[in-house]
Structures are given as structure tokens and as C-alpha cells.
A and B are shown apart, each in its own frame.
Chain A
Amino acid sequence: AQSVTQLDSQVPVFEEAPVELRCNYSSSVSVYLFWYVQYPNQGLQLLLKYLSGSTLVKGINGFEAEFNKSQTSFHLRKPSVHISDTAEYFCAVSYLQGAQKLVFGQGTRLTINP
């Protein structure tokens, strides 16, 4: 069965510090990878996605992620965070045979401290 594991349930970071949110997936077939952000009392917003090509993907709000097939990982990074980045972040995968059906991780709560 396909699954997504987000290794940290909570990540506290000081403002302007770098951050990495970790995501690993399990699959025996090709996958497409996504990171979504959820602000309080809101739906999900797409940050970035990996479909093919370059393994380094840049998204909105200064976030980027790197696809590592050998380690089955898709970690999210930002070199300098802002208070407004405080939110829940979800890693998700979609499979070639299940177009647009997303399998989500449990989420990582990113808290930015001043």
C-alpha cells in the first residue's frame, strides 16, 4: 500500500532561520509529489509539485523541495522563514494509475517564533 510519512509532527523555528520539513513515501511505481499548506480554518493551498524533470522544485512563498528517488524522499525547505509561514504543511503523493487521488501525510505544524 502506498503511504506518506512526515517525520516531524511539529517544528518550531525562529524567524529568519532556515527550515526543513521532511517527507518520505513508499511506492513501487512512479509517483507525483506535492506539498500543500493549510492556514488556520482554511482549505489546502498548493505550494509546489514534482511531476518530472529537475529534482529541485521551486514553489510559492520562497519554498523549494528536492525529490530523491533513491531515498524516496521529498523534503521541503525555506532558507529564511517569516511569521506568516506559521501553518500546517502536508506532503502528498499521487500515483500514475490514480490521477488526482492524493495520499497525504499526517502533517507538520510549523511554528515561527519571533
Chain B
Amino acid sequence: TQLLEQSPQFLSIQEGENLTVYCNSSSVFSSLQWYRQEPGEGPVLLVTVVTGGEVKKLKRLTFQFGDARKDSSLHITAAQTGDTGLYLCAVPAKGRDDKIIFGKGTRLHILP
């Protein structure tokens, strides 16, 4: 069974601090997506990473795909209250080309 593990499950930190959340698996993936879901809304795609070792930046968010394409991290610099939300990673289902599967997410709460 393909498993995507996200850690930590919950994270609550003060505004201005830095943080990193992780998405790990024992499987190799062709690509990996990160989404953010705010309360009362649907998930919104933040980034897709494709190449092992790839780093992508989106303002204060830095995404990295592991060299072996089995894991990924999301680092947020100087967190803001607007970063609060559920962060989900997702990958194409192993051996299938018709769906993606999601991790259980990291619930991030930035305190003012």
C-alpha cells in the first residue's frame, strides 16, 4: 500500500518564526504536489516538483523534492497569520495514471 506520511500532524507557532513540514514515503514518485487548504475552502495548488533535488520558491515558502524523489519538505520563513491552514502533499498513485493520492496533512496555526 502506498503511504504518504506528513509530519508534524499539528503545528502552532508565533508569527515571525520559521518552520518546516515534511512529506515522506518509501516509494519513488514521478512528481509531488503541495496544496494549502484554508478553513471553509477547497485545497489550492501551491507547487508541483518533478526533479530529484529540485527547489522551488513561492515568496516565503520554499519547497524541496528529495534527491531520491521519495520525500519533500516545505519551509516557511517568517510565518504570517495568513499562512494558517492545512498543508497537503499529493502524488500520482503508484502504477496508475488516473489519480493522485493525498497525505493526511499538517494543520498549521500561526499565532499573532
> Do chains A and B stick together as partners?
no
Chain A interface residues (CB < 8 Å from chain B): none
